[in-house]
Structure 1
Amino acid sequence: MASSTVSTLIVCVLIVLAGCVGSGDIAAGPTSTTTDSTATQSTTSTASAESDVTVEVVDVVDGDTIKVVMPDGARETVRLLGVDTPEVYGSNTPDEFEGVPDTEDGRACLRDAGYAASDFAKERLSNRTVGLRFDEKAGERGYYGRLLAYVVVDGSEFNYELLTEGHARFYDSSLEERARYEAAELDAREQGVGLWACATEGGASGGSDATTAKGLSVSVVADAPGNDNENLNGEYVRLQNDGDTAFDLSGWTVSDAAGATYTFADGTTLNPGDRLTLYTGSGTDTATERYWGRSGAVWNNGGDTITITTSDGQTALTYSYD
C-alpha cells in the first residue's frame, strides 16, 4: 500500500456534532495552570515532543478538538493550536481552503475530508495519554474558554501531523510555530494530499463521476495512518444516503478488484441522510459502522475499484480511484 492520498468520490445511483469552530477561539491572555513539566525526546525530526502537562483523552470531537481529563481530575475541551480541519457538523466555506472551488462538489469534498480528519484524530488520540504544550504567544485559553494547545502523542506533535497529512489548513494566528506550520501546509497543498485533493478536478478527489437519479454516496479512505496491515480500521469505505428513500442493503456486497467481498447482513438499512462506514478490521457492528474482520488491508493506496452489488446480483455501481 503506497501513496498517501485519500480518495473520495460522491457517486449517486438509482439504488445508492461542535467541531472545527476554530475561528471563534481568538487567543486570550494566559491563565494560571499547574503543569507537571514532563518532556519526551521527539522520535521524528519534524515533531516537537515537549509538553507542559500530561492528560487523558476522553473524547475526540473532530479533527481539531478533543476533550481531556487534567491531572487534578478537571475536564477540559482542547482546541488544537494552529490548525483547522473541515467541518463535520456544520457547513464548510471553501474559500477558507485555498484552491478549493466554491461549488457543491467542493463543499461535498471538504465534508468528506472533515470526516477523514476526524477518523485520523480518533485513530491517533482516542483513549490515549497525551501531552499538552501551551504557547505563550497564543495564550492558554481561547475566547470560548477552551484550552489552546499542541498535542503530543507517541513522540510526535499531532497538530503538525494534521498539516503534513493534508487533514488541516494552517489557522492563521499568533503562535511560535507559525513559520513551520505555514510551510507544512504549503507542502501538503503542492502535493495535493488529503483535503487539498479537493482543489483539483473541480473539487472531486479522484475517480470519474457517475450519476443517476437517486442518492447513494460512496467514498474510500485507502491509506491508513502508518502500516495499513497493522491499522486495518484506518482504511474504510463509507456509504451515505443523500436521497429521500431508505435503502435496504440486506445481502448487498462490497468488493475490490481482486475479489475480496463483504456482504451486508439482513436488516441493514441506510436511511435518508445516514452514513454507514465499512472498516476493514474487526470491531463491534453498530447502526453506522460495520467491520469486515479481515486480517490484511484491502484497498490499494495506488488505485483500486469498488464494486457494490445488490442482493439479486445486479451491479449497483463501480468506482475506480487512482
Structure 2
Amino acid sequence: MSGARAVALCLLLVLAGCGGGPVATDGEGRMPTDTAATPSTAIDAPPSATPKPDGIEVEVIDVVDGDTIDVRYPNGSEDTVRLLGVDTPEVHAENDPAEFPGVPETDAGRNCLREWGERASQHAKEELMGETVTLSFDENEPRRGYYGRLLAYVHVDGDSFNYGLLTAGLARRYDSSNFQYRERYGTAEGIARGTDTGLWGACATDDPRTATETAIPIADGGPPLWISEIHADAAGDDRENLDDEYVTFGNAGNETLDLSGWTVSDEADHTYTFPDGTAIEPNGTLTLYTGSGDDGDGELYWGQGSPVWNNGGDTVIVRNESGDVVIEREYDG
C-alpha cells in the first residue's frame, strides 16, 4: 500500500470514530440511527444514548425483580441494569438469610425474605415501569458486572431509587462492592434496621412474620430519630457498672433535631426527660447512660442507682414534648 493511501485510510478511520475500538451498533448488529453527542467518559452503553449532566435518560420496559430492570435507549436498543449498592431479597432463586443480619436461617426466615422480595419487585414496578429515568454511574465500579449487566444508580425525578429501597426497608446494602456511597448506604440500612422498617421488622426476628405483618416503624413524616444501639447487659454485675448500660440515639435527618422535653421510658415506666437544649446534629449520635456522670459531648447520664434496661428483653419508648410516641423499640435478651 502506498504511503498516501495509508495516510488516507488512517484519516478515514479517525473520522469514522473507529480508532481504538469496534463500531458501536444498536445491539442487533445495525449501526445506530440517532447521532446525538456521546459523553466525554466511557459509559459502556450505545453511543447514541444522549448524555445528560447527571447521566443518561432511558425508558424502563420491564422489571426483573426489585434490583434489576430492563431499559430502552433513545435509539431503540435495550439493556439490563443492575442497581448499584443494594440487594433486595431473591424472587427467582433461594434466599440466604445469612446475607440479611438478624434473619434466622430457617424456612420461616427464607419464606419471609421471599415475600419481601416480591414486595420489592412490586414496588419497583409501581415506581419505574414505563417511566423515563436517569442512569448514573460510579467511578469506583466498572460499567458492567460479572453477568454483563449495566451497573447504575437509577434516578426518578431527581431522587435515587437505589437509596429509597434502603430507607423503605426493602433491601440491604450490597457489601461486595467498593462503590463511593458505601458509608451513606450503610447508615440508611442501619436506620431501617434500627427502626424495624420493612423486611427488618418482619424477618429479622426469632418469629418471622409475613409481609403484611409489618413492625411499626417511625411514623411517616415524623422526626428522623432512630436507635442505633441498646446495650442493656453491662459488663460484670450490672448494678456495679451502670455506666456500661446505655441507649444510643441517632439523627438521620438533614437538620439539627431538638429533643428538649422529650422522654425515654421502659416497660416499667422508668422515665428520663431530655434537658432543655438537648439536640443531635445531622448524622450525629447521643448516648444516654443509666448511671451518673457529667453531661456533654453527646453523652447524657440518667442518674439512676440501679439498672433500668432488662437484660432479658424490654421496650425503649421515646415520646416528644407533646407526649406522642416517636419510637417504640422492643429488644430481646
When normalised by structure 2's length, the TM-score is: 0.49
Map 1:115-264 to 2 at 5 A: 115-172=118-175, 173-205=177-209
CA–CA separation in structure 1 for the residues paired with 2:205 and 2:138: 38
Q: 2:113 aligns with which of 89, 101, 110?
A: 110
Aligned to 1:37: 51
CA–CA separation in structure 2 for the residues paired with 1:166 and 1:201: 14
* 1:150 positional shift: 0.1
Aligned to 2:63: 60
CA–CA separation in structure 2 for the residues paired with 1:68 and 1:94: 30
Structure 1: runs of 5 or more not aligned:
1-29, 40-50, 207-216, 228-322
- DSSP 3-state at the match of 2:105: coil
* 1:199 positional shift: 4.3
The C-alpha deviation readout for 1:203-236, integer Å capped at 9, x for no partner, is 4237xxxxxxxxxx9878999xx99xxxxxxxxx
* 1:155 positional shift: 1.9
Q: 1:64 to 1:200 in 2, by over 3 A?
A: closer
1:78 and 1:149 in contact (8 A); partners too: yes
The one-letter code sitting in structure 2 at the alignment partner of 1:145 is G
CA–CA separation in structure 2 for the residues paired with 1:179 and 1:73: 36
- DSSP 3-state at the match of 1:202: coil
* 1:78 positional shift: 0.2
The one-letter code sitting in structure 2 at the alignment partner of 1:36 is T
The C-alpha deviation readout for 1:88-112, integer Å capped at 9, x for no partner, is 1111100000010001111111111
Aligned length: 175
Map 1:84-95 to 2 at 5 A: 84-95=87-98
The C-alpha deviation readout for 1:264-310, integer Å capped at 9, x for no partner, is xxxxxxxxxxxxxxxxxxxxxxxxxxxxxxxxxxxxxxxxxxxxxxx
2:202 and 2:215 in contact (8 A); partners too: no
* 1:198 positional shift: 3.5
CA–CA separation in structure 1 for the residues paired with 2:205 and 2:178: 33
The one-letter code sitting in structure 2 at the alignment partner of 1:85 is T
When normalised by structure 1's length, the TM-score is: 0.50
Give the aligned CA root-mean-square deviation in angstroms.
2.6
Q: Highest CA radius of gyration, 1 or 2?
A: 2
The one-letter code sitting in structure 2 at the alignment partner of 1:190 is G
1:31 and 1:141 in contact (8 A); partners too: no
Q: 1:190 to 1:221 in 2, by over 3 A?
A: closer
Bigger relative CO (Cα 8 Å, ≥ 6 apart): 1
1:100 and 1:198 in contact (8 A); partners too: no
The C-alpha deviation readout for 1:116-161, integer Å capped at 9, x for no partner, is 1111111100110000001121111111110000000022100000
2:196 and 2:216 in contact (8 A); partners too: no
CA–CA separation in structure 1 for the residues paired with 2:77 and 2:136: 17
- DSSP 3-state at the match of 1:77: strand
- DSSP 3-state at the match of 1:86: coil
The one-letter code sitting in structure 1 at the alignment partner of 2:162 is N
CA–CA separation in structure 1 for the residues paired with 2:104 and 2:215: 22
